[in-house]
Amino acid sequence: MKPGTPADALSLSEGRSRTRTGTRPPKGLRSAGFLMSLIPVVTFFLIWEAVSRANGLFHWFNPLFLPAPTAILLDGWALAQKGLIIQSVVASTLRITVGFLTGCSAAVLCGILMSRSRTVETWLGPIFNMLGPIPALALLPIFIIWFGIGEFPKILLIAWTTFIPVLAYTLDGFKSVPPTLIRSALSLGASGRHIFTRVMLPSALPNIFVGANVSLGLSFSSLIVSEMMGAKSGLGYIIVDARNYFKMSNMFVAIVLIGLEFSLFAFLLKILEKRLLVWRTNGVRTAVDTGKE
Amino acid sequence: MSLVVAGVGKSYGGRVVLKDVSFQVGPHEFVCILGHSGCGKSTLLNLIAGFIQPDQGEILVDGVPVRGPDKSRGVVFQDHALFPWYTVLQNVEFGPSVRGLPKGEVRAQAFRYLRMVGLEAYADDYPHQLSGGMKQRIGIARALANEPDILLMDEPFGALDILTREMMQRELLRIWLELKTMVLFVTHSIGEAVYLADKILVLKNGRLAAEYLLDEPRPRSAAHPRLLELRADIERLLLEEEDPGEGGNLVHETRDSGRRVVPF
Ligand SMILES: Nc1ncnc2c1ncn2[C@@H]1O[C@H](COP(=O)(O)OP(=O)(O)OP(=O)(O)O)[C@@H](O)[C@H]1O
Ligand SMILES: [Mg+2]
């Protein structure tokens, strides 16, 4: 998950800076920054390769423990030839997509209901407060006993892991709508429904995305763990299977794929966020009040 | 269109913010509410807007008591309160569109008022791309696009520099002379009140301390002797009996709340 995280943090803070005169660095500069960030990563792999090869020569430790990046690539290629990689990636992608989307939609829906109806909030609030802090992974064995080892318990676990943070952020978003915005909408003749769809929801949307970003990492953990326990496919399954046969390089292949898959999802989420929150990014034109135009 | 504020009082947790405030405003009148910070100006405006309810007394618009916010009373906020997720145009369209006007009409209405504040070129910008003065003008256009009978403005130019402020005052007068809606304008600048108002209400410690009527023709010059005299008079009124150390929130029970009506 390494590639996703630092880039995320960076673009998040960029989107939030609301300085009126703040402009983004020009495109050239930004790609230069991207190249700069590549250098440490490349160095990391070069050192790894060097250590691995040196170990092959000098036998500091069992060479099986740390295969070289090139060896991992070759093994990955071999696995891909057998069709195992495609099959695992598809299985994992389906699970995380269905689970994550279900969890997010359920959380937003629940947040809407809880913020619209006092009764719903007084009943559901304490229950979620009680269940929320339980680490979701602790529930997996129970889910497996209840629902077997099919797809359902895995997706349920992913959805539940996604649900709790998104719900918390959604509720927080609805609570922190600036009151003057609601007042101004009211004095413009907005009805309760308008207040909700045109003020509360757009105002809470950035928060909902923070929740989704937070839970993406958690739901990936749930995906992998649920595939390690009682699955016959998926990236997590490659890892346990490789452990059973002590095929270290296969483990590394799976780990790299998980990292790539996470980055892809984080990237898609970012794109969606940029699309929906256009108003948060600083515009190119910085307006100055020059009096009558 | 008439506004009657009759014996209005409001307290927050035992602290009296407004006490026995009464006045009337006729149609097309431009009223400035003047007073120190914390004397209850915003509270009074929020009561008239219907955001809060009075503890005592009544506020009547055309004889009907105010029960809540309504599109007939447009509000311009000190912090502009534009919707950051809408473009300038969408902000101005908000009122007409929630009223359910047909799309074409909504757009036409919005552009009409954007043009009135001179910002139609910025229709597709987002509020954060605008300067403070421009945001304030959009706030005014947004309130006007609903064609309210009463325009309530809470220190709309308070955050602007002096030059922008003067330009905005001129522009507001131009718009008001064109539309002739009733305007209630909160300010703590005596100069601003004297420049704009038909009637100045001076609030002091939650009470209406004085009411001045001005029929000086517009545009007014700040150097006019009668206006200078009026400014000095209001200044004296606001400065006198300023108990040091008192937060300015407590109402002087002893002070005579008699009002001076000074017709010009
Ligand atoms: N919701 C509230 N709860 C408690 N006290 C309040 C509330 N709103 C206003 N007050 C108090 O009422 C008094 C008057 O507030 P108000 O905002 O009306 O002042 P103002 O005349 O508009 O001042 P300014 O010029 O600084 O805006 C203040 O002392 C304030 O603390
Ligand atoms: Mg105020």
Torsion sign across C-alpha atoms B73, B78, B79, B80: positive
- Do A150 and A258 share a structural domain? yes
**Boundary-marking domain end, from A35, A66, A97:** A66
Backbone angles phi, psi at B187, to 5 degrees: -155, 160
CA distance B37 to A142: 62
- Do B205 and B258 share a structural domain? yes
Furthest-apart CA atoms within chain B: distance in Å: 58
Q: Nearest CA to CA, how far is A276 from chain B (Å)? A: 9
- Do A224 and A120 share a structural domain? yes
pLDDT given at position A230: 80
Tell me, yes or no, if B129 comes closer than 8 A to chain A by beta carbon: yes
CB within 8 Å of A266: residues ≥ 6 apart: A4, A7, A8, A213, A216
Across the interface, whether the CB atoms of B69 and A183 are under 8 A apart is answered yes
Q: Tell me the residue length of chain A.
A: 293
**Boundary-marking domain end, from A12, A34, A66:** A66
| Any ligand 1 atom below 6 A from CB of B202 | no
Q: What is the CATH number of the domain that holds A129?
A: 1.10.3720.10
DSSP A122-163: HHHHHHHHHHTTS-GGGGHHHHHHHHTTSHHHHHHHHHHHHH
Q: Which residues of A95-111 are buried (b: 16+ CB within 10 A; e: fewer)?
A: bbeebbebbbebbbebb
CB within 8 Å of A194: residues ≥ 6 apart: A185, B98
- Do B38 and B159 share a structural domain? yes
Three-class secondary structure of residue B160 per DSSP: coil
Residue nearest to atom 8 of ligand 1 (CA): B43
Are the beta carbons of A203 and A173 closer than 8 angstroms? Answer: yes
B193-222 pLDDT, tens digit each:
999 999 999 999 899 999 999 988 888 888
Q: How many domains does chain B have?
A: 2
Q: Which ligand is nearest to the CA of B46?
A: 1
Across the interface, whether the CB atoms of A183 and B49 are under 8 A apart is answered yes
Sort out which chain B residues have CB atoms less than 8 A from A194's CB and list them.
98
Sheet containing B199-204, strands listed edge to edge, beginning at the edge strand earlier in sequence: B73-76, B150-154, B182-187, B30-35, B199-204, B207-213, B261-262
A33: domain range?
A: 25-66
**Boundary-marking domain end, from B127, B147, B167:** B147
Q: Which residues of chain A carry a pLDDT beneath 50?
A: 1-23, 283-293
- Do B96 and B159 share a structural domain? no
CB within 8 Å of B92: residues ≥ 6 apart: B110, B113, B114, B138, B141, B142, B145
Residue nearest to atom 30 of ligand 1 (CA): B38
- Do A164 and A273 share a structural domain? yes
Among B residues 14-53, those touching chain A with beta carbons less than 8 Å apart = 49-51
- Do A235 and A91 share a structural domain? yes
Q: Nearest CA to CA, how far is A279 from chain B (Å)? A: 5
- Do A54 and A94 share a structural domain? no
A215-251 pLDDT, tens digit each:
999 999 999 999 998 888 999 999 999 888 888 888 9
Q: How many domains does chain A have?
A: 2
CA distance A209 to A215: 10
- Do A158 and A59 share a structural domain? no
B10: domain range?
A: 3-72+148-217+227-263
pLDDT given at position B16: 94
State ipTM.
0.87
Are the beta carbons of B61 and B17 closer than 8 angstroms? Answer: no
- Do A196 and A165 share a structural domain? yes
| Any ligand 1 atom below 6 A from CB of B38 | yes
Are the beta carbons of B162 and B135 closer than 8 angstroms? Answer: no
Backbone angles phi, psi at B30, to 5 degrees: -110, 110
pLDDT given at position A25: 54
* Identity of the residue numbered A224: I
Q: What percent of chain B has pLDDT over 90?
A: 73
Q: Which ligand is nearest to the CA of B19?
A: 1
- Per the DSSP assignment, residues forming a β-bridge with B10 are B18
- Do B247 and B141 share a structural domain? no
B148-165 pLDDT, tens digit each:
999 999 999 988 888 888
Question: pTM for the complete prediction?
Answer: 0.80
CB within 8 Å of B36: residues ≥ 6 apart: B188, B204, B238, B248
Q: Of A47, A89, A84, whose CA–CA distance to A69 is shortest?
A: A47
The rounded mean pLDDT for chain B is 88
pLDDT given at position A64: 83
Are the beta carbons of A154 and A225 closer than 8 angstroms? Answer: no
Across the interface, whether the CB atoms of A293 and B118 are under 8 A apart is answered yes
pLDDT given at position A194: 94
Residue B77 within any structural domain of the chain:
no
CB atoms within 10 A of CB B200: 24
- Do B251 and B152 share a structural domain? yes
Sort out which chain B residues have CB atoms less than 8 A from A188's CB and list them.
71, 74, 94-95, 98, 142-143, 146
- Do B158 and B134 share a structural domain? no
CB atoms within 10 A of CB B36: 16
